C-alpha cells in the first residue's frame, strides 16, 4: 500500500464523471499538524523519583546495550531513566527487560537498533505466534515510557532484504524483529514517543493487563520504491486485557490497529491512519484446535486515508484451524478517503483458495458488531461496492446482529453505493445484496480510481 506523509491534493476525473471530495476541517495532514492539533509536552521529572542517566553513543556503531539495561536496573523500584534530547543510544544486542517494577523512562533522545540482519536473526528473542522475533522484551509492573524522543528500528535494510516475501508463508525463513515487545506487563504506559521504521510489527504486547498508548506517532517510510514497509502494524496483541489507545498518528504499510487472539476491554479513540490496511480485528482462528476471542471493543473517531480497507474483521478458514468468537465490537465515527471497502468481514483470510474456504469454512462466531457514523468515499477499486460482509458458511459458526447506522459512504465511480453481504443472519439496518446478485456483479464491475487523498491547505 502506497504511503505518503504529506497527502497530495484530491481532484479526480473518472471517465466523464468529475469527483471532488474533501475531508472534514482541521484534519492534520502531517506530523507537525498532528502535534499542533493534539499538543504533547513531556512533564518534568517527578522530583520524588531519583533520576538515572547513562552515557550516549558516540556514533552509529557504539553499542550502549549494557549501559541501557544497567540504567533501568538502577532506576527500578521508584526511579526514572533519563534519555536527553539530541543524544543517540545504539542497541546492538537483545535485552531482557522483564524485571521492571515501578520504573519510568523519560525518553527525549533517540534509541536506535543496529541493522545487522544476520546477527539479529540468529540472536533475537522468539515468540511462536507467527514465528515472531524481537530486539528486546519489556515486562513487569508499573512501567511508564514518556517523552518526545524516537525509537528507531532502522528498518530499511530489513525491508530491502524481505522484498517479495510474506510473513505468513510457512516457508518464509527471513524473520524481522518487532520494534517494541512486552510480555507479562501490568500497567504499561507509552506516551509521546515517535516509533520509527520498524522492520516488522511496531508493537506486540503479550499476556498483559492495563496497557495504554497515548499521543504516539508511528511511521515507516521507505527510500526504495521497490521495497516498501511490510507488516509494520502499529499494534498487535495476544492475551491482553484493558487496553487504551488515544490520539495516534500512523503512517505505515499494514494494519493501523490489529488486536489478535484474546483481547478484551479495548478502547481506541482518535487515530489518523494513512496508507494502512485499516482498523482490524484479528486475524483469528489461525492455529488448529486453539480457541481465541476478541470482545468488548470500541474504536471511534478514526480518519483512514489512502489505505486498503477501513473497519475490518478477519478470520481463517481451512482444514486445520481454530475456533472462537468476536463479540461486542463497535466501529464509530469513521471518515474514509480512498480506501477499498469501508467495512469488511473476511472469513477466508490470507490467500486461502475459495474452494478450500467452502470445504472448510471458518469456525469463528461473529456477534454484535456495529458500524456507526461512517462518512467519506472509497477508492473505486471495487466499483460501487463500498462494504462487504462475508460470513462463514459453517453451520456451527454464528454471524448475527451485524448492524449499520448512519453509514454514508460513497463511491467515486458515479452511481449509488452498494453493500454486499453473504451469510449474515437478520437485518443489518441498510439494504444489502448477495455477491451473486446482478446488482453486486454490476457494482463490482463499475470500477474507477482516484488519486491520493488530502485536505485543502492550510490546516
What's the mean pLDDT in 74-89? 98
**Percentage of the chain lying above the pLDDT 90 cut:** 90
What pLDDT is recorded for position 365?
98
> In what order do the strands lie in the sheet containing 125-127?
125-127, 132-134, 177-178
* Residue 5 reports pLDDT greater than 50: no
455 vs 459: CA distance, rounded Å: 8
Which residue segments constitute the domains of the chain, with CATH numbers given?
41-214 (2.160.20.10), 240-459 (2.160.20.10)
What pLDDT is recorded for position 456?
52
- Cell, residue 376: 467519506
Question: Per-residue confidence at 20, pLDDT binned at 50, 70, 90?
Answer: low
Q: What is the mean pLDDT of the chain?
A: 93
What's the mean pLDDT in 380-396? 97
* Residue 278 reports pLDDT greater than 80: yes
Q: Which residue numbers are catalytic?
A: 254, 277
Distances (CA, A) of 436 to 128, 399, 420, 440, 443: 39, 19, 9, 7, 11
Count of residues in the chain = 459
What pLDDT is recorded for position 46?
85
Task: Give the list of residues 6+ apart from residue 16 with CB closer than 8 angstroms, or none.
Answer: none
Sequence-ordered alpha helix ranges (H) in 41-198: 65-75, 117-123, 156-162
What's the mean pLDDT in 348-355? 93
* Contact assessment for residue 41 and residue 59, using Cβ atoms and an 8 Å cutoff: no
* Residue 14 reports pLDDT greater than 50: no
* Residue 3 reports pLDDT greater than 50: no
What's the mean pLDDT in 359-386? 98
Task: Give the list of residues 6+ apart from residue 326 with CB closer than 8 angstroms, or none.
Answer: 281, 282, 284, 293, 294, 295, 313, 315, 364, 365, 366, 367, 369
- The answer to which of 24-38, 232-246, 281-295, 351-365 has the lowest mean pLDDT is 24-38
* Residue 4 reports pLDDT greater than 60: no
What pLDDT is recorded for position 44?
87
Nearest 5°: the CA angle 337, 339, 345 is 130
Q: What is the pLDDT of residues 297-343, one digit of tens each?
A: 999 999 999 999 999 999 999 999 999 999 999 999 999 999 999 99
* Residue 22 reports pLDDT greater than 80: no
Nearest 5°: the CA angle 324, 328, 329 is 100
Distances (CA, A) of 235 to 30, 115, 198, 243: 20, 22, 12, 11
What pLDDT is recorded for position 6?
36
Q: What is the pLDDT of residues 171-201, one digit of tens each?
A: 999 999 999 999 999 999 999 999 999 999 9
- Residue 154's Cβ-count burial label (10 Å; 0-12, 13-18, 19+) is buried
* Residue 354 reports pLDDT greater than 50: yes
What's the mean pLDDT in 56-69? 97
* Residue 141 reports pLDDT greater than 80: yes
Residue 449 exposure: Cα atoms within 13 Å on the Cβ side: 3
Task: Give the list of residues 6+ apart from residue 438 with CB closer than 8 angstroms, or none.
Answer: none
312 vs 401: CA distance, rounded Å: 16
Amino acid at each position: 500500500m502506497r504511503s505518503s506523509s504529506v497527502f497530495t491534493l484530491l481532484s479526480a476525473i473518472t471517465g466523464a464523471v468529475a469527483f471532488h471530495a474533501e475531508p472534514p476541517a482541521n484534519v492534520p495532514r502531517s506530523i507537525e499538524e498532528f502535534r499542533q492539533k493534539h499538543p504533547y509536552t513531556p512533564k518534568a521529572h517527578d522530583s520524588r523519583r531519583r533520576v538515572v542517566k547513562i552515557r550516549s553513543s558516540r556514533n552509529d556503531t557504539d553499542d550502549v546495550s549494557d549501559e541501557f539495561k544497567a540504567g533501568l536496573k538502577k532506576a527500578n523500584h521508584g526511579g526514572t531513566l533519563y534519555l536527553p534530547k539530541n543524544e543517540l543510544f545504539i542497541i546492538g544486542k537483545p535485552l531482557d527487560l522483564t524485571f521492571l517494577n515501578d520504573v519510568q523512562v523519560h525518553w527525549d533522545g533517540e534509541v536506535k537498533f543496529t541493522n545487522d540482519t544476520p546477527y539479529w536473526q540468529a540472536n533475537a528473542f522468539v515468540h511462536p505466534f507467527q514465528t515472531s522475533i524481537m530486539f528486546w522484551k519489556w515486562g513487569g509492573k508499573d512501567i511508564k515510557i514518556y517523552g518526545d524522543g524516537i525509537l528507531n528500528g532502522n528498518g530499511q535494510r530489513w525491508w530491502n532484504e524481505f522484498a517479495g516475501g510474506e510473513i505468513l508463508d510457512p516457508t518464509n525463513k527471513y524473520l524481522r524483529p518487532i520494534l517494541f515487545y512486552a510480555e507479562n506487563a501490568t500497567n504499561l504506559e507509552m506516551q509521546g514517543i515517535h516509533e520509527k521504521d520498524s522492520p516488522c510489527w511496531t508493537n506486540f504486547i503479550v499476556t498483559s493487563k492495563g496497557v495504554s498508548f497515548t499521543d504516539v506517532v508511528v511511521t515507516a517510510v521507505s527510500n526504495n520504491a521497490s521495497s516498501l514497509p511490510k507488516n509494520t502494524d502499529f499494534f498487535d496483541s495476544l492475551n491482553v486485557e484493558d487496553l487504551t489507545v488515544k490520539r495516534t498518528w500512523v503512517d505505515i504499510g499494514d494494519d493501523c490497529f490489529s488486536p489478535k487472539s484474546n483481547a478484551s476491554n479495548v478502547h481506541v479513540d482518535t487515530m489518523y491512519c494513512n496508507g494502512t490496511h485499516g482498523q482490524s480485528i484479528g486475524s483469528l482462528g489461525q492455529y488448529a484446535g486453539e480457541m481465541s476471542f476478541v470482545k468488548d471493543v470500541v474504536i471511534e473517531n478514526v480518519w483512514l486515508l489512502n489505505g486498503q480497507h477501513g473497519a475490518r474483521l478477519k478470520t481463517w478458514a481451512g482444514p486445520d484451524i481454530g475456533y472462537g468468537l468476536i463479540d461486542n465490537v463497535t466501529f464509530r465515527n469513521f471518515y474514509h478517503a480512498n480506501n477499498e471497502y469501508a467495512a469488511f468481514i473476511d472469513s477466508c483470510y490470507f490467500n486461502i483458495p475459495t474452494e478450500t474456504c467452502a470445504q472448510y469454512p471458518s469456525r469463528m462466531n461473529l456477534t454484535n458488531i456495529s458500524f456507526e457514523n461512517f462518512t467519506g468515499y472509497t477508492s473505486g477499486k471495487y466499483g460501487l461496492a463500498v462494504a462487504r460482509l462475508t460470513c462463514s458458511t459453517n453451520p456451527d459458526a454464528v454471524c448475527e446482529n451485524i448492524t449499520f447506522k448512519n453509514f454514508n459512504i460513497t463511491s467515486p465511480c458515479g452511481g449509488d453505493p452498494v453493500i454486499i453481504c453473504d451469510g449474515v443472519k437478520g437485518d443489518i439496518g441498510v439494504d444489502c445484496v448477495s455477491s451473486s446478485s446482478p446488482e453486486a456483479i454490476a457494482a463490482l464491475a463499475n470500477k474507477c480510481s482516484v488519486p491520493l487523498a488530502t485536505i485543502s491547505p492550510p490546516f
